[in-house]
Structure 1
Amino acid sequence: MTALVLPAPLHRRVEAAAGEFLRPEGLPAVDFAEPKGEPALVPADSLSWRLFKNPISLFIGGVAAVILELAEARVRAGVWDHTRFRTDPVPRLQRTGLAAMVTVYAARSQAEAMIAGVSRRHARVTGRADDGRPYAADDTDLLDWVQATAGYGFGEAYHRFVRPLSPRDRDRAWAEAAPAARLYGATGAPTSQADWEAQLAAMTPRLTPSPIVFDFLDIMRRAPALPRLARPLQHLLIRAAVDLTPPPVAARLGLDPRHGLTPAQTRIVRAVARTADRLPLRNAPPAQACVRMGLPPDWLYRG
């Protein structure tokens, strides 16, 4: 793989758009280039650093993860009843994207502090799901499912739309996510592809349909969720996320092929995702994290 070089004016616009998206209002800025030399939760030569550098597969995988989360009644209630997603989705999406970047690329001390803050907020979220079951956002089984859906979404999106991952790479991605998952309290989250498949098989009978899944997809189609330059692609990326829903879960939720991509649309998404995988953005977390570790900003795009 070689880095892609855009004309300078276009490259500046792309970098500015990406930087703006990862600076949510009301949250302190995260400097991924500091403290110099401090490692992240996963090392710079990890597979995770290469997977998470791709903003297209990251967006697709994040939406796919939420679809799976909303299929679990207690997680669904926690997301829908305790956030402003229905009325103001973009800040929530930005915070979620930033949290993923901090977990993978930020200095360990910054990541641990952020995760501790998230855990404190989860401890205050309780309620009752639409099936009558009580829930708490810090229940271990719910945390395990949320971490599992994220790991599946991000890995599967890269596998389908950027570059196929070998069975060994899939296991490696799960294993690299395990330390952060434990910090979040997800002590039973998958650590291999086989673990994920077993958890999915056990969870699928417990997943339930809900109009909220379709409300979520409708909100995602209408919200200015991506930087302006990428917005014309947004509806295709959401369809791509639907395609990642495992068939047994899609059947339970009422998602069928008409909600996903056509073959021609799949080719478009793959072309865009593969292009994004070659485009270094110097003010984005992957490049800044490389600088923190004494590496060239385009290091992840070489070789």
Structure 2
Amino acid sequence: MNIFPEGMRNRLRSTFTGQLEGSPEWVLKLEDGDDAGYFSPGSATWAVHGQTATIVAGVRALLMQAMHAGAMAGVHDHSRYKEDPLGRLAGTIRWIFTVTYADTATAVATSNWVLKLHERVTGSYLDAQGISHDYAANDPELLSWVHLAFTDSFLATAKLWSEPIPGGPDAYVREWAKAGELMGVPNPPRSEAELARQLQAFLDSGTLVRNDRVDEAVKFIGNPPLSRAMMPAYHVLFAGAVSSIPEEYRRMLGLEVAHLGPVRLPVVGATRLVLKLVGAMLGHEAPSESSARRRLIRLGLLSPDQTVAAGRGAA
């Protein structure tokens, strides 16, 4: 039984899917397909992506991505994130959850669709030394940085606010490397240690910068145009995302862990409470996972008593 009004629940879910009532068509179509897909119940990927901590992970990933001047230029020049931030969020969630829960053909087709959209995202940017570079969204370097930012963010927030990961952090990084491969990422990391090394390589190379575009994006991510009722909870989740970012990246983003004078505020605990509230509002059924389970049951790969999803994902 969900004690929260249906309208409140729908408004919260629409923030992530862009649809006020019911599940989007792409969620319902996860029930279709002829195989299990790349991941399955009990996998590290299902465990990480089926929890409400993914909400904080999404915020953290956007902050991390902003530090690459080429990635930020693509967003600045081609994205309508200011006019339609929830539409961009819904599109990203669609790709993540499709790759996570769909059959392999759909996961491949959706990834190719995203790559096709990226073909028109080109332009130029200035690096930290003021040198101009051309960029394309499908450049291996940009694809690598985006994959690292996503993987690191989902892993970091899962370690703080989710249940233990089956197989541990290495299992999640290794499994989610498949998503990187689908997007053309060269040599995606396959362990937590390799993930850390690749992130450090970007930091050491001087590729990551802080400029006016980064400051503008950070300000927007910290105060997006959500409903007034949602903003107090969002500010807690934003503070949680910031607290989970290593100090060297926080400094580059111009962010600090929330504090009152010299005392840091207990944002990790506060974030945990807000995520529990979000989970209670969304209910026990994660629509994407439920659709995937019905496909697996139809294919005889899962028993019928496992139709209800255990997670509380956003979609």
Deviations 1:250-288 (A, max 9, x none): 223332234899533321211233565686543621222
Q: Which runs of 5+ in 1 are unaligned?
A: none
CA gap of 1:19–1:280, structure 2 versus 1, over 3 A, is same
Q: Is the 8 A contact 1:174 1:192 kept in 2?
A: yes
Secondary structure in 2 matching 1:270: helix
Q: Is the 8 A contact 2:56 2:240 kept in 1?
A: yes
What is the aligned residue count? 291
- Root-mean-square deviation (Å): 2.9
CA distance in 2, matches of 1:277, 1:235: 17
Quick one: percent identity of the two aligned structures?
25
Residue 14 (structure 2) aligns with: 20
Residue 273 (structure 2) aligns with: 271
The one-letter code sitting in structure 2 at the alignment partner of 1:110 is T
Give the TM-score normalised by the residue count of structure 2.
Answer: 0.81
Q: Is the 8 A contact 2:174 2:190 kept in 1?
A: yes
Q: Is the 8 A contact 2:44 2:165 kept in 1?
A: no
2:31 aligned with 1:34:
yes
Q: Is the 8 A contact 1:19 1:284 kept in 2?
A: no
Deviations 1:174-206 (A, max 9, x none): 111112210100122211101111111111132
2:251 aligned with 1:256:
no
CA distance in 1, matches of 2:74, 2:202: 18
Deviations 1:13-49 (A, max 9, x none): 4653455345437xx8202442166322212221111
Cα deviation for residue 165 of structure 1 reads: 5.0
Which of 95, 106, 111 is the equivalent residue of 1:110? Answer: 106
Cα deviation for residue 77 of structure 1 reads: 0.6
Secondary structure in 2 matching 1:129: strand
CA distance in 1, matches of 2:33, 2:112: 22
CA gap of 1:93–1:299, structure 2 versus 1, over 3 A, is closer
Cα deviation for residue 217 of structure 1 reads: 3.0
Q: Is the 8 A contact 1:140 1:188 kept in 2?
A: no
Deviations 1:73-126 (A, max 9, x none): 111111111111133212111211222111211232222111101111222221
CA gap of 1:257–1:301, structure 2 versus 1, over 3 A, is closer
Q: Is the 8 A contact 1:280 1:298 kept in 2?
A: no
2:49 aligned with 1:52:
yes
CA distance in 2, matches of 1:73, 1:140: 15
Cα deviation for residue 232 of structure 1 reads: 3.3
Residue 211 (structure 2) aligns with: 210
Q: Is the 8 A contact 2:56 2:241 kept in 1?
A: yes
With 134-143 and 204-213 compared, the bigger mean Cα shift is at: 204-213
CA distance in 2, matches of 1:92, 1:124: 16
Cα deviation for residue 71 of structure 1 reads: 0.6
The one-letter code sitting in structure 2 at the alignment partner of 1:223 is P
Q: Is the 8 A contact 2:59 2:238 kept in 1?
A: yes
CA gap of 1:283–1:264, structure 2 versus 1, over 3 A, is closer
Residue 300 (structure 2) aligns with: none
Matches within 5 A, 1:83-122: 83-122=79-118
Matches within 5 A, 1:71-86: 71-86=67-82
Secondary structure in 1 matching 2:310: helix
2:288 aligned with 1:285:
yes
CA distance in 2, matches of 1:277, 1:17: 14
Secondary structure in 2 matching 1:133: strand
Residue 172 (structure 2) aligns with: 173
Q: Is the 8 A contact 2:239 2:267 kept in 1?
A: no
Secondary structure in 2 matching 1:255: coil
CA distance in 1, matches of 2:311, 2:69: 40
The one-letter code sitting in structure 1 at the alignment partner of 2:210 is P
